[in-house]
């Protein structure tokens, strides 16, 4: 059985590749170019040689019809490609178009060209559920019933972080709307992780070109933050657990047309710095101390019970996620 994985050069996609190839699936990896293929390929020579991993190119997912050809002859689709940038300038071009059009064009392509596909799993985000206008919502628990209420018109006049959040909401929303209107042969499952942490495995050209969530941790261990910054989002997901969630979402019948919050734990940057300082004494001078041991504040929580009950998810501890991530970043730093 072959699945198409979009955005295969990305941070999360590397772990999804591991999960699907490890489970015996064949993967058709979509990247933008031959150069990108080469950078992904050398991590997976065993699977390339066996024929389990192959590549297709789509240079820009925003272009209508972008996926028309590459969806042919696969049994399923895992759609991760979408910009995760928090400093976009042209929101439509840099965020909204690739997020929404990319999602819609893959659904349209499958409907038009491949009736064999039964399941499309989409990497959405907690961005698509959070209501920023309500602030830190002490005592509130987010569930799969929550949708980010900000409109695209409001986002056009808002900060780049809000624009990113809305890009994920409009993409996920468009997928369910498409299903409702078009009644395709396939079902959709969407996964909503908050900040994703854990080992960096994909090809990175330099430490200044890390993906956004890895850069978020790297700044806390490379001396660039003199004090512990204010936490952006108060929950995280381990990238390996999230990859497993994609596999379970793909293989679990009951996950049809369901969204799942995928999260290991609530956290703050303070807790993250505490774990780094405890496990990596050599980083003590580069990782801010802040108010060590400060308890988790009175802010919103995320409910991951649906993912545990319906998908059978299990989650690593935060200590494991952070330690493995920091180790991978130190190794990367050394190798570049």
What is the set of active-site residues? 168
Contacts of 2 (CB under 8 A, 6+ apart): 25, 26, 27, 28, 73, 74, 75, 76
209 or 278: CB nearest ligand NDP? 209
What DSSP assignment string belongs to 92-139? IIIIIIIIIIHHHHHHHHHHHH-TT--EEEEE--GGGT--GGGTT-TT
Using the CB atoms, write b or e for 298-316: b if 16+ within 10 Å. Answer: ebbbbebebbeeebebebe
10 or 199: CB nearest ligand NDP? 10
Distance CA 238, CA 325 (A): 9
Selected binder of ligand NDP within 76, 193, 199, 290 (CB under 6 A): 193
Stretch that binds ligand NDP, among 21-29, 109-117, 192-200, 325-333 (CB under 6 A): 192-200
Residue 198 in contact with ligand NDP, rule: CB under 6 A: no
Count of residues engaged in binding ligand NDP, rule: CB under 6 A: 25
Nearest residue to ligand NDP, by Cβ distance, number only: 10
Stretch that binds ligand NDP, among 10-18, 49-57, 141-149, 172-180 (CB under 6 A): 10-18
Task: Supply the minimum distance, in Å, between the C-beta of residue 267 and ligand NDP.
Answer: 13
User: Interaction with ligand NDP in 43-102: which residues (CB under 6 A)?
Assistant: 60-62, 80-84, 98
Using the CB atoms, write b or e for 217-242: b if 16+ within 10 Å. Answer: bbbbbbeebeebbebebbbbbbbbbb
Residue whose pair of structure tokens reads 């070109």 in the numeric block: 209
116 or 143: CB nearest ligand NDP? 143
Residue 190 in contact with ligand NDP, rule: CB under 6 A: no
Selected binder of ligand NDP within 3, 5, 10, 273 (CB under 6 A): 10
DSSP 329: H
24 or 255: CB nearest ligand NDP? 255
Answer for the pair 50, 94: CB distance below 8 angstroms, yes or no.
Answer: no
User: Interaction with ligand NDP in 111-140: which residues (CB under 6 A)?
Assistant: 123, 125
Instruction: List the x/- string, 220-259, binding to ligand NDP by CB under 6 A.
Output: ----------------------------------------
Q: Which two tokens stand for residue 216?
A: 């978020």
Pairing of strands 235-238, 265-266: antiparallel
Q: Residues in the site for ligand NDP, rule: CB under 6 A?
A: 7, 9-13, 32, 36, 60-62, 80-84, 98, 123, 125, 168, 193, 195-196, 211, 213
């Amino acid at each position: 059985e072959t699945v198409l994985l979009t955005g295969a050069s990305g941070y999360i996609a590397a772990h999804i590749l591991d999960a699907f190839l490890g489970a015996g699936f064949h993967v058709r990896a979509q990247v933008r170019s031959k150069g990108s293929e080469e950078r992904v390929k050398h991590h997976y020579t065993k699977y390339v040689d066996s024929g389990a991993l192959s590549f297709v190119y789509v240079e820009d997912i925003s272009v209508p019809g972008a996926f028309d050809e590459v969806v042919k002859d696969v049994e399923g689709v895992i759609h991760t490609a979408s910009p995760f940038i928090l400093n976009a300038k042209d929101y439509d071009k840099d965020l909204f178009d690739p997020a929404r059009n990319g999602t819609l064009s893959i659904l349209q392509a499958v409907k038009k060209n491949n009736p064999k596909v039964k399941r499309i799993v989409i990497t959405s985000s907690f961005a698509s559920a959070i209501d920023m206008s309500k602030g830190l919502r002490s005592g509130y628990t987010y569930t799969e019933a929550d949708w980010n209420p900000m409109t695209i018109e409001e986002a056009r006049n808002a900060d780049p972080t809000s624009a990113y959040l809305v890009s994920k909401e409009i993409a996920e929303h468009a997928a369910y709307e498409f299903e409702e209107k078009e009644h395709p042969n396939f079902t959709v499952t969407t996964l909503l992780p908050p900040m994703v942490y854990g080992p960096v495995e994909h090809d990175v050209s330099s430490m200044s070109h890390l993906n956004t969530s890895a850069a978020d941790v790297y700044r806390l261990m490379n001396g660039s933050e003199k004090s512990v910054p204010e936490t952006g989002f108060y929950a995280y997901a381990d990238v390996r657990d999230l990859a497993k969630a994609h596999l379970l979402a793909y293989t679990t019948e009951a996950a049809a047309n369901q969204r799942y919050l995928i999260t290991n734990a609530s956290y703050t940057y303070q807790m993250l710095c505490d774990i780094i300082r405890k496990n990596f004494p050599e980083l003590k001078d580069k990782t801010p101390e802040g108010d060590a041991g400060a308890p988790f504040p009175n802010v919103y929580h995320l409910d991951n019970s649906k993912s545990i009950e319906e998908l059978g998810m299990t989650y690593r501890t935060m200590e494991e996620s952070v330690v493995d991530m920091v180790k991978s970043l130190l190794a990367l730093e050394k190798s570049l």
